Amino acid sequence: MPLPNDERVVDLANRILAQFDTLFGLHPGFRAAHAKGLMLTGSFTAAPEALSLTNAPHVSRPSTPVTARFSNSTGLPMLPDSVADANPRGLAIRFNLAEHVHTDIVSHSIDAFPTRTGDEFIELLKAIGASGPDVPSPKPVEVFLGSHPAALAFVQAPKPFPVSLATESYFGVTAFAFTNAQGETKYGRYRIVPEAGEHFFSDEEGAKLAQDYHYDEIAERVSKAPIRFRILVQVAGPEDTVDDATAHWPESRPLVELGVVELNAVLPDSLAQQKHIIFDPIPRCEGIEASADPLLELRAAIYLLSGRRRRAAQPA
Ligand code: HEM
């Protein structure tokens, strides 16, 4: 996973990282965002119909080992699971194709993102940082939301507390170009759907959850039976926008099943593994290419810079 060649992207990535530090404080050894999490292992089994979409290596073989990380939002590693800011939850999946060869999916539990570009995103972070409780209305964040409808829609969208991290759906949000063995390319977006169905608490119930409820629950659940998710790809129509994470496609677009992820166990050294692993929002594998979405290169740079910093941190 290389840093982008474009120095402006790397500079923006560093500035966004610094803005996360300002918002959440420094927590050496943890992620700047999605800091609280847990890692599990398992395998991916491709669905037969997946080959119609892509000849990616994990789709062309019977089974691929995976490593997955569930996470809470924010850069606060001790954030209680009962706090609304813990939503949306994250799910990152690494398909281990060979030693040191892998491709990842990074997803979160809402089919939306507040901004189309990184420049808008840093503006939003700065506006949030400048909108403390003592700041009179209209606060900078209110002004930002008033002039950015996608950000307003993201903030206002329901983000309920899942009963379990295994009863939540996750969305890749950015589009990728999927190419099959015949050379046909279609754009699509990931949807990761729980076999256990979607189940949520009311906000009142969510606010009463224990500090580490979701992570204790998922560990308990996987110790009894495997946890399964179907990985689907929502396929774009010819007129759909494929380079804008804030754009929504009609629900009538077809869904192609890529396969099933089965998680079998929590990694015994989850904390050390989380510190080390750096998920890549760009697939970088045959059959799945990045779209022109400007967030992709930027995120790849941020996750790498943040990951290098995390790896270099000395244990507390
Ligand atoms: C401007 C856009 C974005 C920025 C600046 C951003 C920023 C970050 C940062 C700084 C991290 C921590 C990286 C690390 O230390 O490893 C992170 C992780 C993460 N982000 Fe984003 N993000 C963006 C968009 C998204 C989108 C669109 C999604 C959902 C599809 C997403 C889901 C996640 C998840 C799940 C993680 C945790 C990954 C893991 O477990 O290692 N982010 N993000």
What does the pLDDT look like over 182-205, one tens digit per residue? 999 999 999 999 999 999 999 999
- Nearest Cα to Cα of residue 174 among 155, 152, 190, 198: 190
The answer to whether residue 235 is domain-embedded is yes
ipTM field: 0.95
Question: Considering only CA atoms, which residue is closest to atom 6 of ligand 1?
Answer: 299
The answer to whether residue 11 is domain-embedded is no
Domain count for the chain, please give it. 1
Average pLDDT over residues 288-297: 98
Q: What is the Cα–Cα distance from 197 to 277, expressed in whole angstroms?
A: 29
Which ligand 1 atom is the nearest neighbour of the CA of 35?
Answer: 12
3-state secondary structure of 59: helix
Whether the pTM exceeds 0.80: the reply is yes
Mutate to test the pocket of ligand 1, among 27, 299, 304, 306 (most ligand atoms within 8 A of CB): 299
**128 in Cβ contact with 120 (< 8 Å):** no
Ligand 1: does its nearest atom lie under 6 Å from the Cβ of 307?
Answer: yes
The answer to whether residue 310 is domain-embedded is no
The answer to whether residue 153 is domain-embedded is no
Question: Considering only CA atoms, which residue is closest to atom 12 of ligand 1?
Answer: 33
The answer to whether residue 307 is domain-embedded is no
Burial of 260 (0-12, 13-18, 19+ CB in 10 A): middle
Mutate to test the pocket of ligand 1, among 24, 34, 275 (most ligand atoms within 8 A of CB): 34
Q: What is the CATH number of the domain that holds 277?
A: 2.40.180.10
- Residue-range definition of the domain harbouring residue 217: 37-112+160-295
Q: What pLDDT, on the 0 to 100 scale, is given for residue 316?
A: 60
The answer to whether residue 287 is domain-embedded is yes
The answer to whether residue 89 is domain-embedded is yes
The separation between CA 164 and the C-alpha centre of its own chain, rounded to angstroms, equals 17
In the chain, count of helices (H) and strands (E)? 9, 10
The answer to whether residue 123 is domain-embedded is no
Ligand 1: does its nearest atom lie under 6 Å from the Cβ of 189?
Answer: no
